[in-house]
Amino acid sequence: MLWRISFFLLWQLAGAGLGWWQGGVWGAVLGAAVAVWVWFVWDLVKGARVLRWLRTGELADTPEMGGVWGEAADRARRLLRNQQAEVRSSESRLQEILAALQASPNGVVLLDAQGRIEWCNQIAATQFGFDAERDVLQSIGNLLRNPEFTAYFSARDFSTDVVLEGRLSTPSRPERISVHLHPYGDGRTLLLSRDVTALEQADAMRRDFVANVSHEIRTPLTVLTGFVETLQTLALNADERARYLGMMAQQAVRMQSVVQGLLTLSRLEGSPLPGMTEWTPVQSLLERCEEEGRALSVLLTQAQQRPHVMQFPSSEMLRLQGDIAGAPSELQSALSNLISNAVRYTPAGGSIIVEWTRQGDGSAVFSVRDSGPGIAPEHIPRLTERFYRVDRSRSRETGGTGLGLAIVKHVLQRHGATLGITSTLGKGSVFSVTFPASRLRAPGLPA
């Protein structure tokens, strides 16, 4: 500033000196006045340039000039540059935060104080049918027309969530979305949504399972208790006693089978996958299947004197990767179970054909074909559910628990194999197990 005042004085002196040289004292006064005016106008022009530039704020157009105005422009330019860098960094931080919210596995919607959508991620857009761009600033109440949500939103008690029916929900494919609002900032609200369909289904399955187990155990228990009371209160002759005790033993065996089946399932769920180094000769599996199948058939058909017509595959040299531990092994029980079902459900005199075939791609199929009652198509997808039976009384008559196919499915999954069921009502069923080529070895090859 001192320099500027000195320069102004010098400039005035120079004007006065020039005026003195041209016209004496009056010339000096006039010269000083003209110098002041020139200084003033020049200063105005520079100031106007700086102001004009500040209005646009374009860093690239910063006016190049010296003096105080030059310094002011320079400082303003630096300030502007810092400010723009800050804006850019905040913008990129905001984008990063939005990208993180976008990557969230749950739906996220940011609502302003009036309940209008400020931003939402793709998951929320899909769950609620929003358009993430078009619906910005639309009121959530107008877009999410669900009475439960409306009540939840207007009550403004956001301590818990509300579970809504998904917009694509159908009776066969239910969809349940949990919505939880969290107030934040200046009256704003954060909406978090989560697909809880699987959770609710798992919960329902757990409840069903407990109810089924209780039912399965309670029924024979009630019968047993009844017989015990009868034996305690009535004077029965030896024959009657023996008959009642026989029926009691039957119920006890039934309960035992249910508990055994449940223990098997829980062991399969909890135990590690079978070792990949164990190899079982397919031949010995098939031989055991035949032995057990024929024995069961004799037992069930001897009264009618019409045995099943049974056919089993001849020799097979392959080895199958799978656990051979346990007697019988997991694999053995699963394959035998399919044969046992065929024997139990096929009336005496019917046919049961067991086959082992190699496919072109190296995989192998173990199949059990029977000429039994067959299964209606609507039951087929549910047969591997625990306790699912097409005909409860028929299953019970033959000592079934409704857990057999659930166990089979589990064992096969653990061995990389798949179960296929085809059936024609009144004609019979085919239960087939496909083992992938990777699980089979020709004899002689190292494991």
Residue closer to ligand ADP, measured from CB, 93 or 394: 394
Stretch that binds ligand ADP, among 177-185, 189-197, 269-277, 370-378 (CB under 6 A): 370-378
Q: How far is residue 219's CA from residue 422's CA, in Å, rounded to a whole number?
A: 32
Residue 334 CB, shortest distance to ligand ADP, in Å, is 11
Kindly list the distances between the CA atom of residue 368 and the CA atoms of 9, 168, 387, 389, 422, in Å, as whole numbers in the listed order.
116, 40, 22, 19, 11
By CB under 6 A, is residue 370 in contact with ligand ADP? yes
Q: H-type helices in 275-430, by residue range?
A: 282-301, 330-345, 392-397, 404-414
Radius of gyration of the chain (CA): 44
Determine phi and psi for 428, rounding to 5 degrees: 140, 180
User: Residue 262, Cβ neighbours under 10 Å: how many?
Assistant: 20
Q: How far is residue 401's CA from residue 224's CA, in Å, rounded to a whole number?
A: 17
Q: Which of 300, 265, 284 has the alpha carbon at shortest distance from 405?
A: 265
Residue 271 CB, shortest distance to ligand ADP, in Å, is 20
Please give the structure tokens belonging to residue 176: 């349940």
Residue 92 CB, shortest distance to ligand ADP, in Å, is 59
| Among 15, 107, 274, 400, interactor with ligand ADP by CB under 6 A | 400
Name every residue whose Cβ is closer than 8 Å to that of residue 223 and which is 6 or more positions away in sequence. Answer: 247, 248, 251
Stretch that binds ligand ADP, among 39-47, 245-253, 318-326, 398-406 (CB under 6 A): 398-406
Residue 278 CB, shortest distance to ligand ADP, in Å, is 26
Q: How far is residue 82's CA from residue 102's CA, in Å, rounded to a whole number?
A: 30
Residue closer to ligand ADP, measured from CB, 125 or 430: 430
By CB under 6 A, is residue 371 in contact with ligand ADP? no
CB 367 within 8 A of CB 389: no
Residue closer to ligand ADP, measured from CB, 117 or 419: 419
By CB under 6 A, is residue 395 in contact with ligand ADP? yes
By CB under 6 A, is residue 324 in contact with ligand ADP? no
Residue closer to ligand ADP, measured from CB, 181 or 411: 411
Please give the structure tokens belonging to residue 237: 């002759």
Residue 248 CB, shortest distance to ligand ADP, in Å, is 21
Pairing of strands 176-184, 364-370: unpaired
Residue 353 CB, shortest distance to ligand ADP, in Å, is 12
Residue 263 CB, shortest distance to ligand ADP, in Å, is 15
Please give the structure tokens belonging to residue 362: 């190296």
| Among 32, 123, 383, 412, interactor with ligand ADP by CB under 6 A | 383
By CB under 6 A, is residue 86 in contact with ligand ADP? no
For tokens 């723009």, what's the residue?
Answer: 84
Stretch that binds ligand ADP, among 67-75, 84-92, 207-215, 382-390 (CB under 6 A): 382-390
By CB under 6 A, is residue 373 in contact with ligand ADP? yes
| Among 296, 320, 405, 417, interactor with ligand ADP by CB under 6 A | 405
Q: How far is residue 159's CA from residue 424's CA, in Å, rounded to a whole number?
A: 54
By CB under 6 A, is residue 330 in contact with ligand ADP? no
By CB under 6 A, is residue 341 in contact with ligand ADP? yes
| Among 342, 354, 419, 440, interactor with ligand ADP by CB under 6 A | 342
Stretch that binds ligand ADP, among 150-158, 236-244, 265-273, 368-376 (CB under 6 A): 368-376
By CB under 6 A, is residue 402 in contact with ligand ADP? yes
Please give the structure tokens belonging to residue 418: 């798949």
Q: How far is residue 129's CA from residue 109's CA, in Å, rounded to a whole number?
A: 13
Please give the structure tokens belonging to residue 240: 């009657």
Q: What is the dihedral of CA 292, 295, 296, 300, to 10 degrees?
A: 170
Contacting residues toward ligand ADP, per CB under 6 A: 341-342, 345, 370, 372-373, 375, 383, 388-391, 395, 400-406, 429
